[in-house]
């Protein structure tokens, strides 16, 4: 199926001329991109439609809030296009374009120049991974790797799979939500996955469905194609105000994904990224949504963790009582932090760890960030 890209608000029939005029300055600051398939899923008569909210700018994005690199990804970038934060996992940023742009994206800094050149040279990162035998997992990300043509993906996946210590290649993608025909119309992609899995390198597709209405018939067919090719499929998404910030919405998403063999893996607390104020939900509200949603589904549908991708590690938000919030390092940049509990004073208005008053936790949380250089952690 031919999917047409929409890169100007003027091409959106669903907006009134007045709405376009008001939203133009927002799209100038944080680039707008949509496509005809996803636009067709939106109920344009409903100004609060969750899928509309996911892709159409809001004026409040211009509020002064957050920073462009809220998780300090730059700190963990040893060579251009490669991040190494946890010893066994490296990220290769392979491009700077997605099938559409989520308004709440935490990597929007990559899109701000509306890069015409979609592909990033993966070779410096490849060399880095070759030299680091502790790296067993490589996550291809961006942007969205599945925007790249299969010929380019064959080169990248082939190069990574040829590194003997890499056992798993993850592909982080929202293409099955934004344009599942990328998978359905290209049998060579499924063949590439089948070949790579058969050769002994497991491929995981880290999907990004935010709402159960994205699980359309073509999207579920695309999940099936990838699974039949041998890929493992999971889902991860943040809690986004107006998109999925209701327990029953998450419960439906968890339930449907478990039936499709694509279980929810992480639910993320939104990062305090510039432009994202209208999309953020406080930690305590997020915890309530997550726990309530879990209460409504079977064991197989509640396998996810609710986590915050903090500069120091992936912090699971475990629970709270009247006075305190309890958290634990699920992944930690410093080996010593792994598994450590963090107890903070309960603050129902806080969006991020740095806004909480820490009562107890590992010393690294109280130390200056300059101590978080790679050599301290990887030894």
State which residue, 144 or 337, has the beta carbon closest to ligand SF4.
144
> Taking the C-alpha atoms of 32, 112, 23 and 215 in order, what is their torsion angle to the nearest 10 degrees?
30
327 vs 309: CA distance, rounded Å: 12
Region from 5-13, 100-108, 149-157, 338-346 binding ligand SF4, contact rule CB under 6 A? 100-108
- Residue 138 tokens read as 């490589």
- Applying CB under 6 A, among 12, 42, 98, 257 the residue interacting with ligand SF4 is 98
Angle CA 207–101–48, to nearest 5: 95
- Interface with ligand SF4, residue 174, by CB under 6 A: yes
Q: Which is nearer to ligand SF4, 181 or 329 (CB)?
A: 181
Decide whether 98 or 342 has the Cβ nearer to ligand SF4.
98
- Is the Cβ of residue 3 or residue 318 nearer to ligand SF4 in the bound state? 3
Using the rule CB under 6 A, is 102 a contact of ligand SF4?
A: yes
| Rounded (5°) CA angle 269-273-274 | 150
Closest alpha carbon to 218 in 258, 179, 191, 264: 179
Choose among 104, 100, 84: nearest CA to 92.
84
**Of residues 314-353, which lie at the interface with ligand SF4 (CB under 6 A)?**
none
Q: Closer CB to ligand SF4, residue 174 or residue 212?
A: 174
Q: Which stretch binds ligand SF4 (CB under 6 A): 34-42, 58-66, 101-109, 292-300?
A: 101-109
In the bound state with ligand SF4, the residue whose beta carbon lies nearer, of 214 and 316, is 214
Structure tokens at 242: 């107006």
Pick the piece of the chain touching ligand SF4 (CB under 6 A) from 97-105, 116-124, 278-286, 307-315. Answer: 97-105
Q: Figure out which of the listed residues 101, 181, 266, 279 binds ligand SF4, where binding follows CB under 6 A.
A: 101
Token pair, residue 278, equals 């209208």
Least separation, in Å, of the C-beta of 145 and ligand SF4?
Answer: 10
Which range in 99-107, 119-127, 129-137, 347-355 contacts ligand SF4 by CB under 6 A?
Answer: 99-107
In Å, how far from its chain's centre is CA 291? 21
Q: List the one residue from 42, 91, 105, 297 that touches ligand SF4 (CB under 6 A).
A: 105
Q: Please answer whether residues 142 and 114 qualify as being in contact, where contact means their C-beta atoms are separated by less than 8 angstroms.
A: no
Indicate the residue among 218 and 374 with the shorter CB distance to ligand SF4: 218
C-beta separation of 221 from 180 below 8 A = yes
Shortest distance in whole angstroms from residue 269 CB to ligand SF4: 14
Neighbour count for residue 13 (Cβ, 10 Å): 8
Per the CB < 8 A criterion, the answer to whether 307 and 268 are in contact is: yes
Nearer to ligand SF4, 107 or 330 (CB): 107
Q: Does 211 bind ligand SF4 (CB under 6 A)?
A: no
C-alpha–C-alpha distance, residues 100 and 16, integer Å? 21
Residue of 112, 105, 77 lying closest to 92 (CA atoms):
77
DSSP for residue 67: B
Closest CA to 186 of 144, 149, 161, 223: 149
- Closer CB to ligand SF4, 174 or 328, in the complex: 174
Could you give the string, one character per residue 130-169, with x where binding to ligand SF4 holds by CB under 6 A and - elsewhere?
A: -------------xx-------------------------
> How far apart are the C-alpha atoms of 285 and 272, rounded to whole Å?
15
**How far is the C-alpha of 112 from the C-alpha of 31, rounded, in Å?**
6
Q: How far is the CB of 353 from ligand SF4 (least distance, A)?
A: 21
What's the closest the beta carbon of residue 325 comes to ligand SF4, in angstroms? 26
Does 208 bind ligand SF4 (CB under 6 A)? Our answer is yes
Q: Which residues bind ligand SF4 (CB under 6 A)?
A: 98, 101-102, 105, 107, 143-144, 174, 208
């Amino acid at each position: 199926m031919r999917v047409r890209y929409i890169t100007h608000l003027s091409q959106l029939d669903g907006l009134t001329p007045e709405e376009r005029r008001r939203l133009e300055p927002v799209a100038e600051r944080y680039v707008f991109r949509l496509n005809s398939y996803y636009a067709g899923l939106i109920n344009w008569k409903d100004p609060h439609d969750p899928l509309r909210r996911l892709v159409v700018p809001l004026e409040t994005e211009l509020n002064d809030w957050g920073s462009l690199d809220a998780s300090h990804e730059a700190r963990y970038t040893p060579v251009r296009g490669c991040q190494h934060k946890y010893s066994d996992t490296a990220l290769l940023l392979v491009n700077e374009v997605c099938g559409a742009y989520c308004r709440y994206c935490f990597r929007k800094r990559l899109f701000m120049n509306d890069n015409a050149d979609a592909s990033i040279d993966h070779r410096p990162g490849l060399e880095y991974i070759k030299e680091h035998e502790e790296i067993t997992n490589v996550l291809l990300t961006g942007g969205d790797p599945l925007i790249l043509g299969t010929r380019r993906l064959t080169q990248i996946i082939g190069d990574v799979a040829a590194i003997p210590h890499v056992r798993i290649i993850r592909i982080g993608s929202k293409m099955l939500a934004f344009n599942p025909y990328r998978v359905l119309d290209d049998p060579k992609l499924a063949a590439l996955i089948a070949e790579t899995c058969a050769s002994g390198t497991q491929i995981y597709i880290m999907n990004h469905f935010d709402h159960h209405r994205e699980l359309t018939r073509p999207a579920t067919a695309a999940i099936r194609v990838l699974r039949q090719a041998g890929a493992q499929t999971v889902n991860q998404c943040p809690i986004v105000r107006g998109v999925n910030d209701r327990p029953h919405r998450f419960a439906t998403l968890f339930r449907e994904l478990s039936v499709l063999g694509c279980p929810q893996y992480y639910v993320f607390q939104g990062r305090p990224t510039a432009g994202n104020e209208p999309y953020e939900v406080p930690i305590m509200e997020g915890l309530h949504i997550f726990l309530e949603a879990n209460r409504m589904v079977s064991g197989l549908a509640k396998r996810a963790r609710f986590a915050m991708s903090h500069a120091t590690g992936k912090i699971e938000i475990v629970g709270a009582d009247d006075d305190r919030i309890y958290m634990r390092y699920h992944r930690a940049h410093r080996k010593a932090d792994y598994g450590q509990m963090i107890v903070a004073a309960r603050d129902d208005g806080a969006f991020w760890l740095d806004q909480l008053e820490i009562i107890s936790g590992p010393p690294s949380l109280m130390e200056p960030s300059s101590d978080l250089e790679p050599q301290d952690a990887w030894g």
